[in-house]
Amino acid sequence: MNPLNSPEDLRLLSNIGHWVAGGIFSIIVLFTIAKVQGYLRSKKGQYILPWFLFISSSLALVAFLPFHHGLNNFEAVWNYLILDPQQRQHFIMLCLFVIAGTAELLNRKNFERINLWQFILPAVIMMIGLLFLYHPQHGNHEAIQWTATFHRYLGLNLIFAGVIRIIDLLWQNKPRWFSYIWIIFLSIASIMLITYREPDGATFKVPEIELQNQSNEMQKRHQ
């Protein structure tokens, strides 16, 4: 078990993490729709989404890292994040968000020309989708079955969104309606994330940490 949180706290933190990710995707959807409709044509307007994506993902990454429990607990929480495959994927996803935000900022420097930076965000969306397809789950059989199925559908929506967005970027003389297809898939994914709730049977056990904690307690008793 996470050495610093109860199972109830961890379920709440997991819910919040899903809501934050859904919120970020929702903002991407809204700004993309505005761009397709012809808004945000100014240079300053072009930087709103990249800065939001970079700042929000960076803050989320800092909050997710062990610092939110204080430096005194750095080692314990860091071990939890690294040893638990589920938390390790969450950490990777947040890093991908930061990379996407950075790439979007670099892309806006040459937003009138086609450049490779613009493909990073859809690639990140695809990669996050792939991670969700094989997202490790903890808990009883019913909880694992439900959460695994949920995350597979979530992952598929994100993969479709990323692939179609890449096609959208490459297709020069496309009809306007085509630019909305990837937005639809991303909207579905964001709604799924925002409405997500961890089932009661979900747990967050990390056997390696459990054994280490038991070993440490036994050593203290014998001292």
Domains in the chain, number: 1
Residue 113, both tokens: 């020309």
**Residue 24, domain member (yes or no):** yes
pLDDT (tens digit, 9 = 90+) per residue, 156-181? 999 999 999 999 989 888 888 898 99
Per DSSP, helices labelled H in 84-139 are 85-108, 120-133
Domain containing 83 equals 7-222
Report d(CA 64, CA 74) in Å as an integer: 12
CATH of the domain at 211: 1.25.40
* Torsion sign, CA atoms 20, 24, 29, 30: positive
Q: What mean pLDDT is reported for the chain?
A: 80
**Residue 2, domain member (yes or no):** no
**Residue 72, domain member (yes or no):** yes
**Residue 161, domain member (yes or no):** yes
**Residue 1, domain member (yes or no):** no
- Please determine, for residue 57, whether its predicted confidence score (pLDDT) is greater than 70: yes
pTM confidence score: 0.80
Residues pairing with 139 in the sheet: 202
Report d(CA 196, CA 147) in Å as an integer: 10
